[in-house]
């Protein structure tokens, strides 16, 4: 009888843990893994392994980093006025 109660209690705790895990939101790393998986597409073997390693270790550019890079490009192209504004808009979105 005690054995049955112990097994029932263990099963209950296990089910509660699984229910909580199912409700949890994916972590940032899990989201990144999903995105890299989609980008990997049909790659197989060593090619996929190398791609995933690169993709998962890549840092996403911050808005400030994008702004610096776009400003530098606009300066090198010597853009001014509306032309610069249009370029910066497209650059920051991409």
* pLDDT for the residue 8: 60
* pLDDT for the residue 78: 92
- Per-residue pLDDT for the chain (94 aa), expressed as one digit of tens each? 777 777 665 676 666 665 565 567 888 888 888 888 898 888 899 999 998 998 888 877 788 888 999 999 999 999 999 999 999 999 988 6
Buried b (16+ CB within 10 A) or exposed e, 20-44: eeeeeeeeeeeebeeebeeeeeeee
* pLDDT for the residue 26: 82
């Amino acid at each position: 009888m005690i054995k049955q109660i112990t097994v029932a209690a263990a099963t209950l705790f296990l089910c509660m843990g699984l229910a909580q895990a199912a409700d949890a939101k994916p972590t940032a790393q899990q989201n990144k893994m999903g995105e890299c998986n989609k980008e990997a597409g049909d790659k197989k073997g060593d090619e996929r392994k190398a791609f995933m390693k690169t993709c998962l270790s890549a840092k996403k550019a911050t808005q400030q980093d994008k702004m610096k890079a776009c400003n530098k490009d606009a300066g090198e192209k010597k853009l001014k006025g509306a032309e610069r504004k249009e370029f910066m808009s497209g650059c920051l979105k991409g």
